[in-house]
Amino acid sequence: MLKGRRILIGVSGGIAAYKVCEVVSSLAKAGADVKVIVTDAAGEFVTPLTFATLSRHPAFTDKDFWQANNGRPLHIQLGEWAEVFVIAPLTANTLAKLAGGFADNLLTNTVLASNCPILLAPAMNTDMWEQPAVAGNWREVLTYRRYHAANPGAGMLACDRAGVGRMAEPGEILAHIESLLHTKGDRDLAGKRVLISAGGTREHLDPVRFIGNPSSGKMGIALAQAALHRGATVTLVHSITGELALSGVRTIALTSAEEMRQEMLQCFPDADLTVMAAAVADVKPTDYHSQKLPKRSLPNSLPLTPVADILAELGKLKQPHQKIIGFAAQTGDIVKPALEKLRSKKLDVIVANPIDKIGAGFGSDTNQAILINAAGKQVEIAPCSKLEMAHRLFDFVMEG
């Protein structure tokens, strides 16, 4: 998704500029064509030479802007060249300039000379971020369709203050860049409420032993990112272990299939689009022991009880305005069982997922699939990143 794509990074003056080094380096390593504009203030934190080295291109400063150029004006060239423009960190000062349409340096002139989507990643002290003037400027710029938000997170800031104002992590920014390259800034899910399940459930025998599966939840996370970047209001019901960096997404953590069932049934009536990407257990131990069983007490055979079929329940509850997407993780012939699941559970789309292929299925960063809708239309998706797969799936759903 990134190879050969033209990405312009504008760095304004804040300590979070150091994080942008990882963004630039990752893009360049992925084969993207990356150019960087460094404001005078940003150069006090990270030198233009650093960004030039990481991007494999000269880094541009105001000295380049104001000097004579043999070609067309630099800000015009850069603005026309970029497919996606990222400003990170976005300071309160630069935000105010964008809100007012000011152009007093190379960065802000290039903004006005460009027409591509612009991703904004604010970073500042909490008190600064919460100032009414700054909040008003932020609301103002986001009314313009060109601007997209990588919202700041909460945490310990460089000023030793704990609060909101921490720049989005590099991984979030990279994912949003990939999304904008795919959608070209279109928000075709704006106004839609998207419900997604992710991860593999765990059915415990005792506090330390469980029946589970290798699902990492990466596909569900990618779906949540893609839906959010396309303008949806997103709820992610998940059994993913570890910290989730998904600012802007409502997340509900749980462990078992029954817990997931309860949360999905509660959230489902408000959803326009539901994607059941979780790998939910089919059975659970019949008996649960609240204390860890000694090894000598483990049963030679384990009685199992079926768990409720969440997807089938949702299919019965589906209203005319709602759509449900299911996943069928299969080995061997993936189409026949996927079609049976699509019909029996009253789904609108099924993703037939070959988990026995290299680079697909559980735990991988890539995926491949055959998408099938209720009308019988099939589209094969070659191996790609899970974020690209998510976007291809939403494209398929929106096309009908």
Instruction: Point out the residues that are catalytic.
Output: 159
Extract the tokens encoding 55. 């991007």
Burial of 333 per CB tally in 10 Å (0-12, 13-18, 19+): exposed
Q: Give the separation between CA 163 and CA 75, rounded to whole angstroms.
A: 36
- 242 Cβ contact partners less than 8 Å away, ≥ 6 residues apart: none
- What DSSP line would sit under 245-299, residue for residue? --TTSEEEE--SHHHHHHHHHHHGGG-SEEEE-SB--SEEESS--SSPPPGGGS-
How far, rounded to the nearest angstrom, does the alpha carbon of residue 10 sit from its chain's CA centroid? 21
Q: Give the separation between CA 56 and CA 329, rounded to whole angstroms.
A: 41
Q: Give the separation between CA 300 and CA 244, rounded to whole angstroms.
A: 38
Q: Give the separation between CA 147 and CA 349, rounded to whole angstroms.
A: 31
Burial of 151 per CB tally in 10 Å (0-12, 13-18, 19+): middle
Q: Give the separation between CA 191 and CA 39, rounded to whole angstroms.
A: 36
Extract the tokens encoding 299. 């049963």
279 in Cβ contact with 213 (< 8 Å): yes
DSSP assigned state of 44? G
247 in Cβ contact with 234 (< 8 Å): no
Number of neighbouring beta carbons within 10 Å of residue 204: 17
> Roughly what angle, to the nearest 10 degrees, separates helices 386-399 and 170-183?
40
Between the two ends of the chain, the Cα-to-Cα distance in Å is: 24
Q: Give the separation between CA 166 and CA 163, rounded to whole angstroms.
A: 8
220 in Cβ contact with 264 (< 8 Å): no
Q: Give the separation between CA 36 and CA 48, rounded to whole angstroms.
A: 8
